[in-house]
């Protein structure tokens, strides 16, 4: 199984720092090359340059959620969601279809429904296992994986640096 990942082109996980202007400030974003490739594809779909896409995403994220704590992480999640939505059939693989032409509300509703169905399947699967959470009367059992977050390991904490990317 791991061979598919281990023997992939090492260039894909090497990082590249790109300078971009966001809200009139020059800053840098560091991402792995694979993420830059996906972001470039997303930008091309909507006839945008990569800097235009980054500025648009940052502007809309700031408008919707306020201060951006970790823009690089947000961009990685955007890439993962884009690829996942393609696999689900919500975003056509045809690069001639722009992202802005898609019905975002309908896609989000289908995604939420799929997420709810997956949660129900997981709960049914865990409660059917002897010694699972249903047998112990709690949602978190001894054999359940601990929910570690990046904050537990010291990653993703707010940075005092001007850069929007995590410390290298």
What's residue 94's pLDDT?
Answer: 94
**HSE on the CB side for 127, CA within 13 Å?**
10
Q: How far apart are CA 94 and CA 104, in angstroms?
A: 17
pLDDT tens per residue across all 168 residues of the chain: 899 899 998 889 999 999 999 888 899 999 999 999 999 999 999 999 999 999 999 999 999 999 889 999 999 999 999 999 999 999 999 999 999 999 999 999 999 999 888 888 888 887 655 554 444 444 444 433 333 333 333 334 333 334 444 444
What's residue 134's pLDDT?
Answer: 45
Q: How far apart are CA 60 and CA 153, in angstroms?
A: 29
What's residue 128's pLDDT?
Answer: 59
What's residue 162's pLDDT?
Answer: 41
Please give the structure tokens belonging to residue 94: 């045809």
What's residue 129's pLDDT?
Answer: 55
Q: Which of 36, 27, 12, 102 is nearest to 58 (CA)?
A: 27
Residue 32 makes CB contacts below 8 A (sequence gap 6+) with: 12, 13, 14, 15, 16
Residue 36 makes CB contacts below 8 A (sequence gap 6+) with: 16, 18, 50
∠ CA(162), CA(165), CA(167), 5° rounding? Answer: 85
For the chain, list the domains and their CATH numbers.
8-107+161-168 (1.10.3990.20)
What's residue 14's pLDDT?
Answer: 92
Beta bridge partners of 15: 32
Q: Which of 158, 125, 116 is nearest to 144 (CA)?
A: 125
Q: If DSSP codes are grouped into helix, strand and coil, which group holds residue 19?
A: strand
Q: Which of 80, 72, 74, 66 is nearest to 20 (CA)?
A: 72
What's residue 116's pLDDT?
Answer: 82
Range list of β-strands (E), 60-128: none
Q: What's the whole-model pTM score?
A: 0.69
What's residue 131's pLDDT?
Answer: 52
Q: How far apart are CA 54 and CA 95, in angstroms?
A: 19
Q: Which of 129, 147, 146, 127 is nearest to 138 (CA)?
A: 127
């Amino acid at each position: 199984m791991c061979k598919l990942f281990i023997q992939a082109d090492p260039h894909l996980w090497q990082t590249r720092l790109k300078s971009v202007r966001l809200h009139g400030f020059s800053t840098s974003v560091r991402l792995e090359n694979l993420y830059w490739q996906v972001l470039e594809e997303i930008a091309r779909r909507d006839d945008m340059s990569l800097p235009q896409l980054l500025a648009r995403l940052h502007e809309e994220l700031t408008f919707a959620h306020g201060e951006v704590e970790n823009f690089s992480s947000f961009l990685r999640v955007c890439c993962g969601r884009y690829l996942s939505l393609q696999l689900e059939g919500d975003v056509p693989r045809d690069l001639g279809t722009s992202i802005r032409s898609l019905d975002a509300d309908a896609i989000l509703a289908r995604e939420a429904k799929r997420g709810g169905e997956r949660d129900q399947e997981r709960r049914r699967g865990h409660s059917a296992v002897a010694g699972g959470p249903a047998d112990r009367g709690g949602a978190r059992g001894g054999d359940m994986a601990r929910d570690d977050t990046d904050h537990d390991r010291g990653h993703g904490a707010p940075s005092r640096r001007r850069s929007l990317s995590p410390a290298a």
